[in-house]
Amino acid sequence: MLSLLERYPDHRPAFLNVAQGSLYEIPTMAHTVLGSCVSVTFFVPSRGLAGIFHALLPRAEEYRLHDPEVTPYKFVDTAIRNIAFRMFHRGISRQEIECKVFGGASAMFAEEISVGRRNVETAFVTLAELGLRIAASNVGGDRGRKIAFATRTGEIFVRMLNNSTKNGTQR
């Protein structure tokens, strides 16, 4: 992380925990670590505006006790809609927004096999429903990912982690 901040001295670091997300207007090096969770980055080059979240589960409607108004970034679908609509509200058109999708690793034990994939599928489908273009994705596999997003330039750095999701340190 240090070498990245040396390369981007005007960016302040911000670590995203699970169920956190934000829009950034000032240069920020937003970074997080993903297992089966998913992050989507949103970048509007013409405005210097960016957004990113770290979501745990695919769809809010599958969890009846959850109130998406309270924690919109816990679920992939509500997280995408929240950031997209905040951008639309500012007069940004969908054609101006460049999205990238990361995460969705699969654990090797049976009950979690599909969580990563379902998170990714929800991200792809929700972005398509909103008419948002996915410029790139780096998803799946059985290794976690560390990602950093330079919000002023839209650059993404991804490092695949050596520890597998099956070792129990990641969900």
Q: Is residue 48 a contact point for other proteins (CB under 8 A)?
A: no
Q: Which is nearer to other proteins, 60 or 148 (CB)?
A: 148
| Residue entry with tokens 């005007």 | 10
The binder of other proteins chosen from 37, 40, 50, 76 (CB under 8 A):
37
Q: Is residue 72 a contact point for other proteins (CB under 8 A)?
A: no
Q: What are phi and psi of 121, to 5 degrees?
A: -60, -45
Query: Which phi-psi region, left, alpha or beta, contains residue 35 (left: φ > 0; alpha: ψ -120 to 50)?
Result: alpha
- How far CA 7 is from CA of 55, 89, 106, 123, 156, in Å, comes to 28, 33, 32, 30, 13
CB of 104 to other proteins, least distance (A): 8
Q: Is residue 16 a contact point for other proteins (CB under 8 A)?
A: no
Say how many C-beta atoms besides its own lie within 10 A of residue 166's C-beta: 16
Q: Is residue 140 a contact point for other proteins (CB under 8 A)?
A: yes
Interaction site with other proteins (CB under 8 A): 1-4, 7, 15, 17-18, 32-37, 56, 117, 120-121, 124-125, 128, 133-141, 144-148, 155-163, 169-171
